[in-house]
C-alpha cells in the first residue's frame, strides 16, 4: 500500500450544491492541505471520507479498504470543526472514555502529549481557551496511534502561537512515515510551511492538486500595465485580474514566462494569492 | 549544524537547503562519512515539507556530495575537488558574463576591465 487515501470520481448532489468528480490521492508519509473558500465543498468531502455522508457516487478507499469497513476506524484520527467533549469533564477524564472506544488507545502517549503542550490534566474542559481545546482534540485524535489524521479547519480561530504548536504536533506525528495527514483550511500560511501536497477545491470541483513546492517554486504573479498585458498570448497565463492601477496575471511557470516576456515584475506566489486569483480572476 | 533558509527569497527552499549543506561539506564543517539528519527530522526541525528536504538530498546525491545507504541513512561523501572547483568556476563565469555585458553596454574596454580585475584581485 502506497496510498493512504484514494478518492475516485466522488459525486454528491444537494439542491443547491454539487460535489463533482472529486479525485484525491494521498500517499503515505505526506501531509495534504485541502484549501478552498467557505462552502467550496471541503467539509462535505471530509464527511464523505468518514462515511458520515453515505449516499454519494464514486469510491473512497482508506488503506486500500472501503471506507465503510469497520477495521478502518481504528486507524484514523479525526478532528472536526465542532468540539465533541462534554464541557463538565476534566481533561484526564478523556482517558478512560477513549480507552473504551479504541483498542489501541495509549494512555502514556496521551499524558505525554498533554505535558509537552502544557495542558493541565486536572483542568476542566469548560475553562480551556479555544486554542487549548483544539490542541486537546488533536492530542486525543492521535493518541490511539492512527495512520491517518483527518482534520477539518484545525487552525481556524487560533492565534499564531497556537497554530505553530498545532503544526509542531503535525510534524511530530508525520515523523512516522507510515502515517499521513489530510486537513482542510482556509488559513493558507500554515500550509506554506509544512504541507507536501496542496489540493484546491472550488465550487465542488478540484481545480488543482500538486506538490506545494511545484506551486511555490514555479507559479508566479506578473504585475504589469495594460499595454504589456495586451501582448500576452492567452496560453501563456492561467488567470488575470484587472485592478485599478495594474493587471495581476497568474502564470504557471515563471521562468518560461520570463524568457518570453522580458523586463516584467514577477512576484513569488503565496497560496493566498493563488486562491484569490483562481477564484476571482478571469 | 546550522541551516538558514529564507521564505521570502526567490530561490526555492530545497535549493537553499542544498546549497547550505554543500557549503558545509566543502568548508569541512561536515566531514566525510558523517551522517546527515533524516529527511523527516530535518523537515520537522526546519519546519518545511518532507518533499522539500527529500528533493534537497536527492540533488545532493546526484551531484555526488552525499550517498544514501538504504535503511541506514544519508552520509557525506568524499569530496571530488575537481568537480567542486568546476562548479565554482561555472558560477564565476556567470557572474563575469554579467560584468562583461555591463562593460559592453557602457563602452568599457577589455583592457580597462582586465585592469580592474587585477586591481581587485591584488587587494583581496
Spell out the domain ranges in chain B. Answer: 13-76, 81-123
What domains can be seen in chain A, in order of their start residue?
3-212 (3.40.50.300), 219-280 (no CATH)
Is the Cβ of B11 closer than 8 Å to some Cβ of chain A? no
Of the residues A213, A215, A265, A266, the best mutation for testing chain B's interface (the one with the most B CB atoms within 10 Å of its CB) is A213
Nearest to A199 by CA among A177, A182, A223: A182
Cβ pair A263, A271 in contact under 8 A = no
Question: What is the average pLDDT across A104-111?
Answer: 93
Of the residues A164, A171, A272, the best mutation for testing chain B's interface (the one with the most B CB atoms within 10 Å of its CB) is A171
Q: In this complex, do A174 and B40 lie within 8 Å of one another by their Cβ atoms?
A: yes
- Helix (H, G, I), strand (E, B), or coil: what is residue A206? strand
Q: What is the pLDDT of residue A251?
A: 83
Tell the CATH topology of B13-76. Answer: Arc Repressor Mutant, subunit A (1.10.10)
Of the residues B41, B49, B57, the best mutation for testing chain A's interface (the one with the most A CB atoms within 10 Å of its CB) is B49
φ/ψ of residue A143, rounded to 5: -85, 5
pLDDT at A1 over 70: no
- Looking at the DSSP bridge assignments, the partners of residue B69 are B73
- Looking at the DSSP bridge assignments, the partners of residue A57 are A11
Residues 6+ apart with CB under 8 A from A211: A196, A197, A198, B49, B51
Cell of B86: 568546476
Residues of A in contact with B53 (CB under 8 A): none
Cell of A72: 478502518
Residue bearing cell 476571482: A280
- Looking at the DSSP bridge assignments, the partners of residue B68 are B74
**How many helices (H) and strands (E) are present in chain B, helices listed first?**
5, 3
Cβ pair B83, B64 in contact under 8 A = yes
Size (chain B), residues: 124
pLDDT digits (tens, 9 = 90+) for A231-252: 777 777 878 888 878 888 888 8
Q: In this complex, do B49 and A174 lie within 8 Å of one another by their Cβ atoms?
A: no
Residues of B in contact with A219 (CB under 8 A): none
Is the Cβ of B43 closer than 8 Å to some Cβ of chain A? yes
Between CA A253 and CA A257, with CA A256 as vertex, the angle to 5 degrees is 80
Residues of A in contact with B43 (CB under 8 A): 171, 194
- The helix or strand, by DSSP H or E, that contains position A3, with its residue range, turns out to be strand A3-14
The Cα–Cα gap between A214 and A223 comes to 21
Is the Cβ of B13 closer than 8 Å to some Cβ of chain A? yes
Average pLDDT of chain A, as a whole number: 86
Nearest to A58 by CA among A3, A13, A1: A13
pLDDT digits (tens, 9 = 90+) for A184-236: 988 777 777 888 999 999 988 999 999 988 888 888 888 887 777 777 777 77
The Cα–Cα gap between A193 and A213 comes to 10
Give the CA count within 13 Å in the CB-facing half-sphere of A2.
1
pLDDT tens, chain B, 124 aa long: 788 888 778 888 999 999 999 988 888 888 888 899 998 889 988 888 999 999 999 999 998 899 998 888 899 988 878 887 888 899 899 999 999 999 998 999 999 999 998 999 888 6
Is the Cβ of B8 closer than 8 Å to some Cβ of chain A? yes
Chain A contacts in chain B segment 89-108 (CB below 8 A): none
Amino acid at each position: 500500500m502506497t496510498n493512504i487515501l484514494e478518492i475516485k470520481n466522488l459525486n454528491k448532489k444537494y439542491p443547491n450544491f454539487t460535489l463533482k468528480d472529486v479525485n484525491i490521492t494521498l500517499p503515505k508519509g505526506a501531509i495534504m492541505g485541502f484549501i478552498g473558500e467557505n462552502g467550496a465543498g471541503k467539509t462535505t468531502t471530509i464527511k464523505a471520507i468518514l462515511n458520515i455522508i453515505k449516499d454519494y457516487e464514486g469510491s473512497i478507499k482508506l488503506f486500500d479498504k472501503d471506507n465503510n469497513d469497520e477495521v478502518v476506524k481504528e486507524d484514523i484520527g479525526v478532528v472536526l470543526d465542532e468540539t465533541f467533549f462534554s464541557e463538565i469533564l476534566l481533561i484526564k477524564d478523556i482517558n478512560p472514555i477513549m480507552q473504551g472506544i479504541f483498542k489501541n488507545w495509549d494512555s502514556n502517549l496521551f499524558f505525554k502529549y498533554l505535558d509537552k503542550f502544557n495542558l493541565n490534566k486536572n483542568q476542566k474542559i469548560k475553562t480551556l481557551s479555544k486554542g487549548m481545546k483544539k490542541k486537546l482534540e488533536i492530542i486525543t485524535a492521535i493518541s490511539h496511534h492512527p495512520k491517518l489524521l483527518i482534520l477539518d479547519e484545525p487552525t481556524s480561530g487560533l492565534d499564531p502561537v497556537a497554530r505553530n504548536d498545532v503544526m509542531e504536533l503535525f510534524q511530530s506525528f508525520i515523523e512516522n512515515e507510515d502515517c499521513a495527514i489530510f486537513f482542510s483550511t482556509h488559513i493558507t500560511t500554515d500550509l506554506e510551511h509544512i504541507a507536501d501536497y496542496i489540493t484546491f477545491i472550488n465550487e465542488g470541483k478540484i481545480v488543482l492538486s500538486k506538490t506545494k513546492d511545484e506551486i511555490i517554486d514555479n507559479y508566479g504573479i506578473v504585475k504589469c500595465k495594460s499595454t504589456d498585458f495586451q501582448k500576452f498570448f492567452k496560453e501563456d497565463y492561467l488567470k488575470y485580474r484587472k485592478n485599478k492601477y495594474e493587471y495581476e496575471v497568474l502564470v504557471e511557470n515563471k521562468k518560461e514566462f520570463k524568457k518570453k516576456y522580458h523586463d516584467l515584475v514577477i512576484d513569488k506566489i503565496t497560496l493566498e494569492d493563488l486562491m484569490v486569483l483562481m477564484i476571482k480572476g478571469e | 549544524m546550522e541551516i538558514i533558509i529564507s521564505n521570502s527569497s526567490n530561490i526555492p527552499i530545497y535549493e537553499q537547503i542544498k546549497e547550505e549543506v554543500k557549503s558545509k561539506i566543502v568548508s569541512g564543517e561536515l566531514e566525510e562519512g558523517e551522517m546527515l539528519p533524516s529527511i523527516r527530522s530535518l523537515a520537522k526541525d526546519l519546519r518545511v515539507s518532507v518533499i522539500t528536504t527529500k528533493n534537497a538530498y536527492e540533488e545532493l546525491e546526484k551531484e555526488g556530495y552525499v550517498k544514501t545507504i538504504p535503511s541506514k541513512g544519508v552520509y557525506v561523501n568524499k569530496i571530488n575537488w575537481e568537480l567542486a572547483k568546476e562548479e565554482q568556476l561555472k558560477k564565476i563565469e556567470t557572474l563575469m558574463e554579467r560584468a562583461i555585458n555591463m562593460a559592453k553596454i557602457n563602452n568599457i574596454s577589455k583592457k580597462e576591465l582586465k585592469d580592474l580585475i587585477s586591481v581587485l584581485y591584488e587587494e583581496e
